[in-house]
Chains A and B, each alone.
Chain A
Amino acid sequence: MSQVRVTFFATDENNHPVAPLTKSDFAVIDSELVVRNFRNFTPADETSLDVVALVDLSESVALRLGVAMSAVLQLVAREQSMPDDNIAVLTFGGTFEGTIGGALGGMQPAILCANGCRAADAMNRLLAVKSGGTTPLFDALLFGAEFVSHHRRAGLRPVLILFSDGNDTISMHSAREALDAVLNEGALIYSVDMRTSGHQSSKQRAGSTFLRQVSDATGGRYFPLRFAPNDGAATVLNAALEDLRASYVVTYDLPSHQAGFHSLCLMPTHNLNLTFHSRNGYYYEPSVR
């Protein structure tokens, strides 16, 4: 019998992770069917984070790039405070003086540092970024997913911290393809919205909506950069770590053998103040004998 395995955490009305949970605190809605009989329910076995910061350097975020890069530098500064953790920084759009692999930025997403981002040459690269150009956001998410795939380590939760305004302008791939790639790697997106404060155009709102949706769809979270300009990185990283510690894994028998995408969400059984965060679905493909 095929089983579905879902990793999740819950937050309360103040958006704080909730622990401990019991299996009677929630039900799973799998392709509209309510599932309450679980095979297994345990705390998640991932012990730490594998962080990939994916930074939008395009012209549309130029005004906020300084704040975002400051947050990225804070993130890198914390690399050694997290045992076994790895922080990598990838960028898309914009220009900079040199990257690993020799790319010069712009249309193609690039790796600024894959580990050891605190090293002098890596810091120089981080400090040398300049904003400009178009926004291949969806392509960058695929690139990030591929990076996660190549750098996967057992027991670590892959987390993409996406600094962007959410407005793609030129990708070759679609939003759906980008999201599927991230979901397939089991990575969570924690998005930091770089849009400017004040009056929002419909395009800006659409970008924020996209960031919120991809974060929710992967079981991650959404943060507006304007709410925490001075400690943005710490806020996001702490949230990801707290979410990790409050995570559980539930398994249950596949409720429907229909091939294709199965939507997924967890709902409370008693306390309606609880919000559950998990990926929003999975693909089921019956194999042919």
Chain B
Amino acid sequence: MKSTLLLVLVLSSVSVAWAAPLGIYQHGTVVRMRMGDCMLMHRGFMNQFGPPQAAAAEESCPEYTLVADKVVFLIVGKSSNQLVPLAEVIDFRFQNKELAVRVDDARHESRFAIKEMTLRSEWELVQKHIEYQLNDSPRQPVDTSMTLRSRE
């Protein structure tokens, strides 16, 4: 049992170690983060058909918008404390229908579920549309002086 575990650990670390030099990683930038529900992660039989589980429903998981060269990903962590370092550029790769993100410049990856994938060109059009709507919608003029109510 121990040797099997050791073998798995060695293989996984070797695969991560080889991924970087081989250029397997893609690069992207996280532009948005929010805490969403974790239900995407709990789609097992018991969760779908079992009794209501308030605890699972209440848990929130981090959801990131990751903008890559051609595609924009919406990825979701598997627990509330699964975080992505928010560096300007992060490394990631596909692994078994999930996205493995390189964490902390180390030989360590964190795997996220892919909730949505959009072509970057389409995503940018949608963003422009949202921005246009926000700017064009009737609203009160903004005083460009300091308008934050709070001290900070």
Interface residues of A (CB under 8 A from B): 1-7, 26-27, 29, 32-34, 36, 183-186, 254, 257-258, 267-272, 279, 282-289
CB-based contact A282/B147 at 8 Å: no
CB-based contact A272/B103 at 8 Å: yes
B139: nearest chain-A partner, CB-CB: A286
Give bound CA distance, A282 to B31, whole Å: 20
Determine the chain B residues whose CB is within 8 A of the CB of A5 once the complex forms. Answer: 148, 151-152
Is B88 part of the contact surface with A, judged by Cβ < 8 Å?
Answer: yes
Contacting B148 at CB < 8 Å: which of A2, A32, A34, A270?
Answer: A2
Is B128 part of the contact surface with A, judged by Cβ < 8 Å?
Answer: no
CB-based contact B83/A284 at 8 Å: no
CB-based contact B32/A33 at 8 Å: yes
Determine the chain A residues whose CB is within 8 A of the CB of B142 once the complex forms. Answer: 2, 257, 286-287
CB-based contact A34/B150 at 8 Å: no
CB-based contact B152/A34 at 8 Å: no
Q: List 13 A-B contacts (CB under 8 A).
A: A2-B145, A2-B146, A5-B148, A6-B152, A7-B152, A32-B32, A183-B150, A268-B86, A270-B85, A270-B87, A271-B85, A271-B104, A282-B148
CB-based contact A269/B87 at 8 Å: yes
Determine the chain B residues whose CB is within 8 A of the CB of A32 once the complex forms. Answer: 32-34
Determine the chain B residues whose CB is within 8 A of the CB of A183 once the complex forms. Answer: 150
Give bound CA distance, A184 to B148, whole Å: 11
Determine the chain B residues whose CB is within 8 A of the CB of A271 once the complex forms. Answer: 85, 104
Give bound CA distance, A29 to B151, whole Å: 18
In the complex, number of A-B residue pairs with CB atoms less than 8 Å apart? 93
Give bound CA distance, A256 to B124, whole Å: 17
Determine the chain A residues whose CB is within 8 A of the CB of B31 once the complex forms. Answer: 33-34
B window 117-152: CB within 8 A of A = 134, 139-152
Give bound CA distance, A194 to B83, whole Å: 32
Give bound CA distance, A258 to B105, whole Å: 36
Nearest CB on B from A195, distance (A): 22
Contacting B146 at CB < 8 Å: which of A3, A257, A268?
Answer: A3
Determine the chain B residues whose CB is within 8 A of the CB of A184 once the complex forms. Answer: 149-151
CB-based contact B146/A270 at 8 Å: no
Nearest CB on B from A220, distance (A): 14
Q: Given A267-B86, A287-B143, A288-B141, A34 and B151 touching (CB < 8 A)?
A: no
Is B30 part of the contact surface with A, judged by Cβ < 8 Å?
Answer: yes
Interface residues of B (CB under 8 A from A): 30-34, 83, 85-88, 103-105, 134, 139-152
Give bound CA distance, A270 to B33, whole Å: 16
Determine the chain A residues whose CB is within 8 A of the CB of B30 once the complex forms. Answer: 34
Give bound CA distance, A269 to B89, whole Å: 10
Q: Which are the 10 A-B pairs with shortest beta-carbon distances?
A: A27-B86, A287-B143, A269-B87, A186-B151, A286-B142, A283-B149, A282-B150, A32-B34, A5-B152, A267-B86
CB-based contact A285/B104 at 8 Å: no
B82: nearest chain-A partner, CB-CB: A272
Determine the chain B residues whose CB is within 8 A of the CB of A36 once the complex forms. Answer: 86, 88
Give bound CA distance, A29 to B64, whole Å: 11
Determine the chain A residues whose CB is within 8 A of the CB of B145 once the complex forms. Answer: 2, 287
CB-based contact A284/B85 at 8 Å: no
Give bound CA distance, A270 to B85, whole Å: 5
Q: Given A6-B152, A268-B86, A284 and B147 touching (CB < 8 A)?
A: yes
Nearest CB on B from A257, distance (A): 6
CB-based contact A269/B86 at 8 Å: yes
B146: nearest chain-A partner, CB-CB: A2
Q: Given A7-B152, A29-B33, A1 and B144 touching (CB < 8 A)?
A: yes
